[in-house]
Amino acid sequence: MTYIFAHRGSSKDCPENTMAAFKKAFEDGADGIELDVQLSKDGVPVIIHDEKLDRTTNTKGNVADFTYEELTKIDAGSWFSKKFGSEHVPSLQMFLEWIAPLPILLNIELKNNVIEYSGLEDKTLQLLHQYGMEKRTVISSFNHYSLVKIRKMNPYIETAPLYSSGIFEPWEYVRAVCSQSAHPNYKSLHPYILEGFKRHNIPIRPYTVNSQKWMAYLFEWGIEAIITDYPIIARNVRNGDGP
Ligand code: G3P
Ligand code: MG
């Protein structure tokens, strides 16, 4: 069965990367949650997509210029809808505390391809260890140096390079960056690429698959997982129930 990962939580119904979006993903029956991690000014891993606060909070400026304490006071929900005004930028620790007892998979994307947050890999691994989440987490990043670093720190945790398109024989590249799986943009998945991944036994979890046509196509290929903003729709397509 192809797993369904909720992209930034159930981000079409709730503000992305907030506890509301993660709780909704669990209620929606997603098999896994994808989220983005950066570091606050005082080095706390926090969950937010952009390097700036501007788009998804009521504050302007770089995430890296605010302490975690300051981030907890920022409204990260009203931009989406007034009813989410009590949502804040969650810490990774707070999120792990919530998810650890629940039967759901996790994909942590290290958002360090623009800013190379020093210590992000180490801190993320320590928290995953603390909450016993290593066996059901895959760490991905567009920064593939970071994935190699992770592998040196922990030989067991699954890692996956994120990429957009155009990598020659990406199943070979996955090995080159010491990873076990790949997270490609779904638009790059021509049949010969899907075939190559299958032949080399490399699991893939493409992003961000929101069209039902693509969902059905990828389920038919029997890939490992899809990452989508619409976990409920994806479940219906997977069950053959239509949208
Ligand atoms: O991890 C899959 C996807 O989230 C990668 O792109 O920009 O949505 O973080 P982005
Ligand atoms: Mg992401």
Tell me the C-alpha distance between 165 and 162, whole Å.
Answer: 10
Q: Note the pLDDT tens digit of each residue in 6-52.
A: 999 999 999 999 999 999 999 999 999 999 999 999 999 999 999 99
Beta bridge partners of 222: none
Mean pLDDT throughout 149-178?
Answer: 97
Tell me the C-alpha distance between 23 and 38, whole Å.
Answer: 21
Tell me the C-alpha distance between 65 and 59, whole Å.
Answer: 12
Q: Note the pLDDT tens digit of each residue in 90-106.
A: 999 999 999 999 999 99
Beta bridge partners of 163: 184
Residue 124 Cα to ligand 1 midpoint, Å, equals: 18
pLDDT of the residue at 136: 98
Closest ligand 1 atom, residue 227 Cα: 2
Question: Is the pLDDT reported for residue 243 higher than 60?
Answer: no
Q: Is 49 a catalytic residue?
A: yes
Question: Is the pLDDT reported for residue 142 higher than 90?
Answer: yes
Tell me the C-alpha distance between 107 and 161, whole Å.
Answer: 12
Cβ(17) to ligand 1 under 6 A?
no
| pLDDT band at 228; cut points 50, 70, 90 | very high
Residue 140 Cα to ligand 1 midpoint, Å, equals: 9
User: What's the CATH number for 3-239?
Assistant: 3.20.20.190
CA 208 to chain centre: 10
Cβ(140) to ligand 1 under 6 A?
yes
Cβ(36) to ligand 1 under 6 A?
yes
Reference 102, options 131, 124, 140, 138; nearest CA is 131
